[in-house]
Amino acid sequence: MKSILENRPALAAEIDKVAEVAGYLWQKGWAERNGGNITVNVTEHVDDAVRALPAISERYPIGTVLPHLKGCFFFCKGTNRRMRDLARRPMENGSVIRIADDCASYEIVADAPVKPTSELASHLAMHNKMIADGKGYKAAIHTHPIDLVAMTHNPAFLEKDVLTNLLWSMIPETRAFCPKGLGIVPYKMPSSVELAEATIGALQEYDVVMWEKHGVCAVGPDIFEAFDQIDVLSKSAQIYLTAKAMGFEPTGTTQEQMDELKRAFDL
Ligand code: 13P
Ligand code: ZN
């Protein structure tokens, strides 16, 4: 079978990035079984031949109407597919979908009829918002980092910006590279439209959003940058946990030091 990636180097390069990040998620222990999902808006890499591809699946409802996605193409991890398999064989463990003109349904067009992630409503809602914002963001990721998810089991950390300030204060880079901090979405049923809507609400203020007792979502210009934001937050969580394991409460950088950083980096 001919892959959609053949003779399309720009599209293939995007899928390579997805595979690379999928490998990191597995190596980090954030992707047990099928845990987590990745989607990338690949519309700019699609030519007339791809646009004319017939559907290879029935038409599925998204569950919500997303007006900015009309005619867009996305690479999506398949539901129930393992990240570690996506890393090695992305086109067998994910697929390219096309959003229908009603902006409320989609069809799979390539390579195989692999049904997209169960969190598609959240992913597509994030992409709809990214297009509306006009910042050129193309990637969305959801993953289950052990340290960050563990922190959401403490109600005090779920208050607005408590976790953001704690994580920023562990190492200066976290503030520099995750300047908007970490939004909190109170627990909602996985895969639900309610979860998608709450995620979009939190993304008004943040590029990274925590789903209480479940996982993290991040958006970015490409999948590397979305991953990096979760990675720096997880590093801070590790520093906090390591200090606690050594038997003391970490002091954290001072508010003055953080303000100085904010001015210096124009955050
Ligand atoms: P999928 O296998 O459907 O992508 O689900 C994984 C997950 O993390 C759900 O929240
Ligand atoms: Zn999940």
CB of 190 closer than 6 angstroms to any ligand 1 atom: yes
pLDDT of residue 152 exceeding 80: yes
User: Ligand 1, from 80, 187, 210, 214: best to mutate by most atoms within 8 Å of Cβ?
Assistant: 80
CB of 67 closer than 6 angstroms to any ligand 1 atom: no
Distance from the alpha carbon of residue 176 to the mean position of ligand 2, in angstroms: 27
Residue 33 and residue 54: Cα distance in Å, rounded?
32
Rg (CA), the chain: 19
What is the pLDDT, as a whole number, of residue 207? 87
The ligand 1 atom nearest the CA atom of 37: 4
CB of 79 closer than 6 angstroms to any ligand 1 atom: yes
Q: What does residue 88 show for φ and ψ, rounded to 5 degrees?
A: -95, -35
pLDDT of residue 267 exceeding 90: no
Which residues touch 266 (CB under 8 Å, ≥6 apart)? none
What is the pLDDT, as a whole number, of residue 119? 98
H helices present in the chain, as ranges: 9-27, 48-51, 83-88, 120-133, 146-151, 162-168, 172-177, 193-203, 223-245, 255-265
119 is catalytic: yes
Spatial contact of 122 and 217, defined as CB atoms under 8 Å apart = yes
Is 128 exposed, middle or buried (CB count within 10 Å of its CB: 0-12, 13-18, 19+)? buried
pLDDT of residue 162 exceeding 80: yes
pLDDT band at 83 (very low <50, low <70, confident <90, very high): very high
What percentage of the chain has pLDDT greater than the value 90?
Answer: 97
User: Ligand 1, from 79, 95, 192, 212: best to mutate by most atoms within 8 Å of Cβ?
Assistant: 79
Distance from the alpha carbon of residue 213 to the mean position of ligand 1, in angstroms: 14
pLDDT of residue 251 exceeding 80: yes
* Residue 209 Ramachandran class (φ > 0 left, ψ -120 to 50 alpha, else beta): beta
Distance from the alpha carbon of residue 16 to the mean position of ligand 2, in angstroms: 22
Model confidence over 99-146: pLDDT tens digits?
A: 999 999 999 999 999 999 999 999 999 999 999 999 999 999 999 999
pLDDT of residue 161 exceeding 90: yes
pLDDT of residue 1 exceeding 80: no
The ligand 1 atom nearest the CA atom of 36: 8
What is the pLDDT, as a whole number, of residue 78? 98
Residue 142 and residue 69: Cα distance in Å, rounded?
20
CB of 129 closer than 6 angstroms to any ligand 1 atom: no
Tell me the C-alpha to C-alpha distance, in Å, between residue 113 and each of 3, 22, 229: 13, 20, 31
* Residue located nearest, by CA, to atom 1 of ligand 1: 79
pTM of the model: 0.97
Mean of pLDDT over the chain: 97
Residue 40 and residue 110: Cα distance in Å, rounded?
14
Model confidence over 36-68: pLDDT tens digits?
A: 999 999 999 999 999 999 999 999 999 999 999
Q: Which tokens in the block code for residue 252? A: 């954290």
